[in-house]
Amino acid sequence: MVATKRKTFDIFARIKRGDPLIHIGTVEAENEHLAKVYASFTYDEEDWSEMTVVDRSQIVWVKKPNWLFAQKEGRVR
């Protein structure tokens, strides 16, 4: 059996039309289809009007914050 690499998907949703799109969490999945399934079951606490999954590797940063525990040269700084 060949292990398929899992990717991280960020989940964005809004409760009703006109509300801002907010980041509600992440899921790890082998592909987009499974990411949608995992997201719909994991984040079903609200009656979302919209929900989207975004492959984290596809996010293009305009301005990226310096994370508190960012790694530099193999060390946590």
Residues 32-51 pLDDT 10s:
999 999 999 999 999 999 99
Percent of residues, the chain, with pLDDT higher than 90: 71
Residue range 52-59: mean pLDDT, rounded: 95
d(CA 8, CA 59) in angstroms, rounded, equals 11
Q: What is the side-by-side order of every strand in the sheet holding 22-29?
A: 22-29, 7-14, 50-55
* pTM above threshold 0.85: no
| Choice between 29 and 77, residue whose per-residue pLDDT is larger | 29
Query: What pLDDT, on a 0 to 100 scale, did the predictor assign at position 71?
Result: 61
Q: H or E segment at 40?
A: helix 32-42
